[in-house]
Amino acid sequence: MKLAILDHLPDHLLELSATELHRHLDGPTLVHLPGRRPQPLFVSVLQHGNEVSGWEAIRRLLKGRYSRDPLPRSLVLLIANVRAAARGQRRLADQPDFNRCWPGSSGAKTIWHKLFGEITDHVRQLKPFASIDIHNNTGQNPHYAAVNRIEGQRLRLASMFSRTVIYFTEPRGVQSMAFGEFCPAVTLECGLAERLDGTDHAMAYLESVFNLDQLPESIPAPEDLELFQMIATVTVNDEIDFGFSSDASELRLLPGLDRLNFCEMPPGTRLATTLNGACSPLKAVRHDGRDVTRDCFRLADSEVVTTRPLMPAMLTTDINIIRQDCLCYLMERISLSGDSGDPRREKPQPELPETLP
């Protein structure tokens, strides 16, 4: 797998939807476009082939005003998984998840790890102004940005997209973590891929960032930022037959569960009904590997209910995603005290360790 680096956009590329890009690009492609300020903005789109808001935002931005005017700042664009995009899939069966193959990843190294390592080395030398990786998700979630370090410039960059910002350090091998070693880096989650508002929002955001002269280093004001930390992943136990309808023989999840995303659920919130008395159908595991199921959920008369205040993210009603990935992530709120940059929990919760590794 060889990295393609272009110093211009191929003719008519901006006319193509994500599903058509593979006809003109063989694989992951970096495109350098000059702008008035030479220090480039790095933007990555289509790491997941079905998450099209990033490509749609870039192509609308470049086809619009910047087809006539110079870009306010140089751009280095990564168009990542065009083969999966052609099929409308996150990744193909013979591919790993691209956003787990960047430097810092754990596990066996593939040709993709080598390729993303080369991209990282190449972009590091360009000393980018900032790095923005654009995604969509499934289920009802607000648009939000994510960071891998609690630090002024990246929180500024994140809060320009949304007041809701998530801090995470797992999984490893994500692009924003690799580039975060040498520039402020954020991941954007633009809601459902099929909705236009994700594209509109990403486009307006990119336009604002392109026009920034510099990024302030101070932590954003509390009214501009709600910061949450991902603390655990919730899965349905492997052997359990589950679903959202009466077809499920063992565990029936509540319909419309994804409406609870980013809601602070009080203890006793009902998530599912067990049909055969399975004792612990859900499993919550902290990102340090510790099982915290009993800290989070209990059974009350066949109902699976929460036992403590929890806030879920990425709850989905897509059975395949629940099976392949997870039911949701659990988060807790981080408050930032003054401008020292030290994260402080509002309420220490001794059952769950304070920080991720």
Contacts to Zn ion by CB under 5 A = 48, 51, 135
d(CA 323, CA 75): 38
Nearest Cα residue to 248 out of 275, 217, 216, 211: 275
Place of tokens 């990282």: 120
Nearer to Zn ion, 310 or 331 (CB): 331
In the complex, least distance from residue 285 CB atom to Zn ion, rounded to whole angstroms = 21
Least gap, CB of 148 to Zn ion (angstroms): 15
Closest CA to 235 of 308, 310, 172, 291: 291
Q: Say which residues have a Cβ less than 8 Å from residue 56's Cβ, sequence separation at least 6.
A: 18, 199, 202, 203
Neighbours of 70 (CB within 10 A): 11
Nearer to Zn ion by Cβ, of 46 and 71: the residue is: 46
Q: Write down the least CB distance from residue 333 to Zn ion, Å.
A: 24
Alpha helices in the chain (DSSP H): 53-63, 82-87, 111-125, 152-159, 175-179, 196-210, 293-296, 319-324
Query: Which residues are registered as beta bridge partners of 77?
Result: 31, 43
- Of 95 and 349, nearer to Zn ion (C-beta) is 95
Q: How far is the CB of 342 from Zn ion (least distance, A)?
A: 30
Nearer to Zn ion, 18 or 310 (CB): 18
| Shortest distance in whole angstroms from residue 197 CB to Zn ion | 17
Which is it for strands 185-189 and 251-253: parallel, antiparallel or unpaired? unpaired
Q: 48 or 113, CB closer to Zn ion?
A: 48
The residue whose two tokens read 């509002």 is 346
Name which of 220 and 312 has its Cβ closer to Zn ion. 312
User: Least CB distance from residue 280 to Zn ion, whole Å?
Assistant: 30
Q: Are strands 226-236 and 328-336 parallel, antiparallel or unpaired?
A: antiparallel
Closest CB to Zn ion among residues 51, 170 = 51
User: Is the CB of 292 or the CB of 326 nearer to Zn ion?
Assistant: 326
How many other C-beta atoms can be found within 10 angstroms of the C-beta atom of residue 3? 15
Q: Characterize the bridge pairing of strands 71-79 and 29-33.
A: antiparallel
Residue 219: CB minimum distance to Zn ion, A: 27
Name the closest residue to Zn ion (Cβ). 135
- Torsion angle defined by CA atoms of residues 217, 222, 225 and 231, in that order, rounded to the nearest 10 degrees: 100
Minimum Å distance from CB 335 to Zn ion? 28
Q: SS in 3 state form for 193-235?
A: CCCHHHHHHHHHHHHHHHCCCCCCCCCCCHHHCEEEEEEEEEE
